[in-house]
Structure 1
Amino acid sequence: MSTTVWIILAAAVMTYLTRIGGHMILSRFERIHPRVEAGLNAVPAAVLTTLVAPAAMSGGVAELAALATGAAVAFLVGGMMPMFLTSAAVLILLRHLIG
């Protein structure tokens, strides 16, 4: 197998171990401290921010239009999948048309 395949497999294994490790550690506690729970609840928003912020700050017309479309779909329709699909479609279309 090529080096790329080994890297992908190693990344998949490490990702799995990281996810299952956190679950195993937290499952040993009967109750989680409220501060830990608040921190864990903030993770999805933090991850979304790290994905969106670079495109919003340094993106071109296509990226900004995709972000605006995603925000509009999120507020009007709701749901992650419609938001993702429409944003991706707008981004792909505009990158293809604009370049």
Structure 2
Amino acid sequence: MSLDYQTFLAILAMAAATALTRVSGAFLLRFLTIGPQAREALDAIPPAVLMAVIAPTALATGWAETIACAVTALAALRLPLLACVVIGVLSVVALRAVGL
């Protein structure tokens, strides 16, 4: 397998942009005071992103995926994002194992 020089540079540039975005956000938040309404809005972002990612799967695939998406959506109401992802993956695996 060979890696093209331009492809390698593009991957490095995307990695740098991702890292800088994350670091700059954490750095800038040190200088801002966030009120309770803004905090609630920021806390709502991870479940919203999760739903945006899994909604196409729920609508375009089989029953196992659709049920797992519903289970994940319910979990997202109370649990952190990583826990919801784990629950969603395990739900798909279990539902596929039983033949749905």
CA RMSD of aligned residues (A): 3.3
User: Greater relative contact order: 1 or 2 (C-alpha under 8 angstroms, separation 6 or more)?
Assistant: 2
Secondary structure of the 2:34 match is: coil
Out of 80, 83, 98, the residue aligned to residue 87 of structure 2 is 83
TM (norm. structure 1) is 0.62
Gaps of 5+ in 2: none
1:22 aligns with 2:21: no
CA contact (8 A) 1:70 1:86 kept: no
Secondary structure of the 1:63 match is: helix
TM (norm. structure 2) is 0.62
Counterpart mapping for 1:1-99 below 5 A: 2=4, 3-29=6-32, 31-61=33-63, 63-64=65-66, 66-67=68-69, 80=83, 82-87=86-91, 89=93
CA contact (8 A) 2:59 2:66 kept: no
CA contact (8 A) 1:56 1:67 kept: yes
Of all paired residues, the percent bearing the same amino acid is 35
